[in-house]
């Protein structure tokens, strides 16, 4: 795993372009990321490499933090500065700080957000942006998102600077559009920088081409910000089970191991308690051997069944 900086701006690279740069730097094809940034947006991309790509679903619920600029008075086809202007309004000239504060307050917490027409959401098996590019009308269903933080940083109409922390799947372009609608003047997202993904901060990120192959799990004291990080960081929220040598071999071959005496605190092994019927339901558990992550298993009754194996034999 690596933390990299994606450049932004009108000619900014796509997230896929950044992944390709990391592929070349590491000399490996199996590289992915934990959440796309639009080409014009800058900031933090969390890169996963090799078998660690299988762990991406366990970080899907991580929140993300941003700093951005909403430009009032103009709506665009893409809900951001890269789109064609659709409508303009002079109403933003009379908008004051109090109005903006009240508008932002309506979007704090959970709300139903309609994704942009130019988005990767699938419509009848096809990405919405492809339909939109053909000139088709795209009306996407609203989705429940969570805006944990939405702070007004500066109000200088037509521009409104903000800071936000949101759930995975939240579109900041849609948020800008919705704020403009609430203010009655229309708006689009003029600039965006992702500053955090889950526990990671932009300050720790490096250029995509600077990522190096050193294994963070081998000599953690020698690891630099340019080196690959231990993929176990992606599952620190999961209960942990340390395996014996025999269990290690079983897990590497996809075989189940005993659940043992009960799951312990996250990252701390097992605790002695009798599992309730609810705890016997399928749930993920991180399996370790010799201090290294081997797999994520599903807890089913008295067994732990490997579902995602990340270690090599």
For the annotated catalytic residues, the residue numbers are 38
The neighbour count for residue 35, using CB atoms within 10 Å, is 18
Inter-residue contact 292 to 311 (CB < 8 Å): yes
Cis peptide before 158 (omega within 30 of 0): yes
For 132-161, the DSSP string reads HHTT----PPPEEEEEEEEEEEEEETTEEE
Strands 85-88 and 159-166: unpaired
Q: What is the DSSP letter of 206?
A: B
Whether 45 and 18 have beta carbons less than 8 Å apart is answered as yes
In this structure, the strands spanning 64-72 and 74-76 are unpaired
Residues 278, 299: contact at Cβ < 8 Å? no
């Amino acid at each position: 795993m690596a933390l990299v900086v994606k450049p932004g701006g009108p000619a900014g690279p796509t997230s896929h372009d950044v992944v390709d740069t990391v592929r070349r730097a590491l000399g490996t094809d199996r590289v992915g990321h934990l959440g796309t940034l639009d080409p014009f947006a800058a900031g933090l991309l969390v890169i996963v490499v090799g078998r660690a790509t299988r762990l991406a679903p366990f970080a899907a619920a991580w929140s993300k933090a941003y700093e951005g600029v909403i430009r009032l008075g103009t709506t665009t086809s893409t809900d951001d500065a890269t789109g064609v202007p659709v409508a303009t309004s002079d109403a933003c000239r009379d908008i004051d700080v109090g109005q903006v504060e009240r508008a932002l307050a309506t979007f704090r917490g959970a709300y139903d957000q309609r994704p942009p027409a130019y988005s990767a959401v699938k419509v009848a098996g096809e990405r919405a942006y492809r339909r939109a590019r053909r000139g088709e009308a795209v009306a996407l269903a609203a989705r429940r998102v969570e805006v944990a933080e939405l702070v007004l940083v500066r109000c200088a109409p037509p521009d409104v600077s903000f800071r936000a922390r949101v759930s995975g799947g939240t579109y900041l372009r849609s948020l800008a559009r919705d704020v403009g609608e609430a203010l009655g003047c229309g708006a689009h997202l003029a600039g965006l920088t992702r500053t955090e993904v889950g526990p990671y901060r932009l300050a720790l990120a490096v250029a995509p081409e600077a990522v190096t192959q050193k294994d963070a799990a081998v000599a953690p004291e020698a690891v630099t910000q340019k080196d690959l990080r231990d993929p176990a960081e992606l599952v620190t929220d999961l209960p942990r089970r340390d395996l014996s040598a025999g269990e290690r071999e079983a897990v590497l071959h996809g075989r189940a191991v005993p659940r043992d005496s009960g799951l312990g605190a996250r990252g701390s092994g097992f605790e002695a308690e009798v599992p309730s019927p609810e705890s016997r339901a399928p749930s993920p558990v991180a399996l370790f051997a010799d201090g290294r992550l081997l797999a994520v298993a599903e807890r089913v009754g008295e067994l732990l069944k490997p579902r995602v194996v990340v270690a090599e034999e």
